[in-house]
Amino acid sequence: MKDNKNINTDSSLIRDILAKSLDMQVLNLTEVSALLSLEDKGLWEEVFDIARRVKEKVYGKRIVLFAPLYLSSECTNDCLYCGFRKGHKDAVRKTLNVKEAVEEAQLLANRGYKRLLLVASEHAKLAGIDYMEQIIGALYENTDIRILHANTAPVSVEDFRRLKNAGLGVYQCFQETYHIPTYRHMHQKGTKADYAWRLGVMDRAIEAGFDDVGMGVLLGLYDWRWEVAALISHCRRLINKYGLGPHTLSVPRLQPAQGSNINWKYKVSDDDLKKIVAIYRLALPYVGVVVSTREPALLREELLLLGASQISAGSKTSPTGYLHDGDTEQFEIGDARSLEEIIEKIASMGLVPSLCTACYREGRSGEAFRHLAEKEGIKKFCHENALLSLKEYLEDCASDEVKMKLQKLMDGEIAKSANGLVEKFRLIELGKRDSHI
Ligand code: SAM
Ligand code: SF4
């Protein structure tokens, strides 16, 4: 990235960049650098406003909800920031067996979740590829979860093929930091010490057939402006090489973790996190921007109004976390609200909570999805499917109080609907499930 002082950040340049994003074009690195070096508070308000508008242009008002399911905390790596690191001698560790994983997943399904993100530490023997295949198969067969994504250790092309064939939707992996000296310091032992192996993970996943991949950097390890530019550069390289970039960008921000060993020199402030969410949204307009429960409730609500499109809810970050407390968490969470509380909050903000998984059921992934997103065609699917998924939630899981509160949203949508929403809702009331367009 160029020296900040040399970058022209005058308002007309910034407004040209914003117009390009509103036109659904991917930004180049000079444009991303101009946003990264912007200081004018008034112009930042314009940037946030356009980021919100771009999100609504692509996805409408819907906000996708999911939960992580931690499978294992037994790790052969020693990432200095993580509660599962090998060097954390006091950690209480656990790898779920198939029965336990099914129990946790069904518990989440009973709360209303339809999509889960499987998360695991790296342990080739205890949580390797055979284990993952077994778990994925068992969860699809024995629970009401409709789509599984994974944030697990990088593997070879051949092993990625096995994960894809097992039915994983998105494969997600964070580079943590692109800055090589910082990477080496943070990852001194285990497979993860190999920077190049991690950097090539998206190439291997895409070559194995994953046309939806999720990327990110762990914010707080190094200068965030440098990392954001490097991440966008990585995305642009994938787009040039494969014709497709990331399906999602996440904004994991470093949290305190038991047994971690980090200094907070590069701590990312709340204001900076807002800028990062907006820049991701503008740089790759069609991308899903994901905010986890690492962040506190109020900040998450603000992020939803400036470009974020997916959030996790009611999360636990230890393998037995949903069934009972006991094993060590990966890091502390900032938003402990339940799925129901978050659904209610999102609806009260004039947004539409969504538990939809339709695109995976209809094969709208990779290039097909991006094409629809760029042509502003995906939001009509997203909006109706969000409402259908919410109707199922209200029928099956919601408390009477939340049902009453959300009825107003549903009535308003029925009044606006010209395409038979009433009939589809009636069928859901009669027991039809997985209704989508
Ligand atoms: N073990 C695999 C790996 O490292 O790629 C899979 C996922 S790991 C369990 C999930 C992610 O959690 C890591 O990629 C890292 O970015 C993030 N993480 C680890 N420690 C964290 C912390 N203290 N605060 C916030 N995020 C953290
Ligand atoms: Fe293991 Fe992943 Fe934690 Fe590193 S970040 S110690 S690889 S679980």
Whether residue 376 is found in the same domain as residue 421? yes
Helix (H) or strand (E) holding 282: helix 270-283
Q: What is the C-alpha to C-alpha distance for residues 301 and 128, in angstroms, rounded to an integer?
A: 37
Whether residue 347 is found in the same domain as residue 397? no
Whether residue 338 is found in the same domain as residue 377? no
Whether residue 328 is found in the same domain as residue 395? no
Ligand 2 centroid distance, CA of 277 (Å) = 24
Whether residue 145 is found in the same domain as residue 224? yes
Whether residue 350 is found in the same domain as residue 418? no
Is 24 within a domain?
Answer: no
Is 422 within a domain?
Answer: yes
- Which numbered ligand comes closest to the C-alpha of 192? 2
Domain that holds residue 399: 372-429
What is the structure's pLDDT at 1? 46
Residue after which a domain boundary falls, among 328, 356, 384: 356
Is 436 within a domain?
Answer: no
Whether residue 340 is found in the same domain as residue 421? no
Whether residue 261 is found in the same domain as residue 376? no
Residue after which a domain boundary falls, among 301, 332, 356: 356
For the chain, 437 residues long, give each residue's pLDDT as a single digit of tens. 444 444 455 899 999 999 999 999 999 999 999 999 999 999 999 999 999 999 999 999 999 999 999 999 999 999 999 999 999 999 999 999 999 999 999 999 999 999 999 999 999 999 999 999 999 999 999 999 999 999 999 999 999 999 999 999 999 999 999 999 999 999 999 999 999 999 999 999 999 999 999 999 999 999 999 999 999 999 999 999 999 899 999 999 999 999 999 999 999 999 999 999 999 999 999 999 999 999 999 999 999 999 999 999 999 999 999 998 778 899 989 999 999 999 999 999 999 999 988 877 777 777 777 777 777 777 777 888 899 999 999 999 999 999 999 988 888 888 887 667 888 888 999 999 988 77
What is the structure's pLDDT at 164? 97
Q: What is the C-alpha to C-alpha distance for residues 120 and 71, in angstroms, rounded to an integer?
A: 5
Q: What is the C-alpha to C-alpha distance for residues 227 and 122, in angstroms, rounded to an integer?
A: 24
Ligand 1 centroid distance, CA of 82 (Å) = 6
Q: What is the C-alpha to C-alpha distance for residues 60 and 338, in angstroms, rounded to an integer?
A: 24
Q: What is the C-alpha to C-alpha distance for residues 293 and 289, in angstroms, rounded to an integer?
A: 14
Protein residue with least CA distance to atom 21, ligand 1: 82
Whether residue 293 is found in the same domain as residue 410? no
pTM higher than 0.85? yes
Q: What is the C-alpha to C-alpha distance for residues 39 and 281, in angstroms, rounded to an integer?
A: 18
Whether residue 324 is found in the same domain as residue 352? yes
What is the structure's pLDDT at 359? 78
What is the structure's pLDDT at 419? 66
Counting atoms of ligand 2 from 1, which one is nearest the CA of 83? 3
Is 20 within a domain?
Answer: no
Check if the beta carbon of residue 105 is closer than 8 Å to that of residue 94: no
Q: Encode burial over 98-133: b for 16+ CB neighbours within 10 A, e otherwise.
A: eebbbbbbeebbebbbbbbbbbbbbbeebbbbebbb
Protein residue with least CA distance to atom 8, ligand 2: 121
Counting atoms of ligand 1 from 1, which one is nearest the CA of 253? 25
Is 38 within a domain?
Answer: no
- Which numbered ligand comes closest to the C-alpha of 84? 2
Whether residue 347 is found in the same domain as residue 389? no
Ligand 1 centroid distance, CA of 173 (Å) = 9
Q: What is the C-alpha to C-alpha distance for residues 307 and 49, in angstroms, rounded to an integer?
A: 9
Paired tokens of 99: 């029965």
Residue with tokens 């067969």: 141
Residue after which a domain boundary falls, among 356, 389, 418: 356
Ligand 1 centroid distance, CA of 250 (Å) = 12
Check if the beta carbon of residue 148 is closer than 8 Å to that of residue 172: no
Counting atoms of ligand 1 from 1, which one is nearest the CA of 218? 16
Ligand 1 centroid distance, CA of 315 (Å) = 14
Check if the beta carbon of residue 390 is closer than 8 Å to that of residue 354: yes
DSSP 176: B
Check if the beta carbon of residue 177 is closer than 8 Å to that of residue 266: no
Q: What is the C-alpha to C-alpha distance for residues 148 and 357, in angstroms, rounded to an integer?
A: 10
Is 42 within a domain?
Answer: no
Supply the DSSP string of 103-143, one letter for each residue.
HHHHHHHHHT--EEEEEE---TTTSSHHHHHHHHHHHHHHS
CA pseudo-torsion sign 328, 333, 337, 339: negative
pLDDT digits (tens, 9 = 90+) for 216-237: 999 999 999 999 999 999 999 9
* Pocket test residue of 72, 77, 185, 187 for ligand 2, highest count of atoms within 8 A of CB: 77
73 C-beta closer than 6 A to ligand 1: no
Cα distances (Å, whole numbers) of residue 136 to 117, 118, 146: 11, 9, 11
Is 345 within a domain?
Answer: yes
Protein residue with least CA distance to atom 13, ligand 1: 174
What is the structure's pLDDT at 57? 93
257 C-beta closer than 6 A to ligand 1: yes
78 C-beta closer than 6 A to ligand 1: no
DSSP 217: B
Whether residue 244 is found in the same domain as residue 384? no
Counting atoms of ligand 2 from 1, which one is nearest the CA of 121? 8
Is 263 within a domain?
Answer: yes
Specify the number of domains making up the chain: 2
Counting atoms of ligand 2 from 1, which one is nearest the CA of 120? 8
What is the structure's pLDDT at 2? 44
Counting atoms of ligand 1 from 1, which one is nearest the CA of 260? 23
- Report the CATH number at residue 223: 3.20.20.70
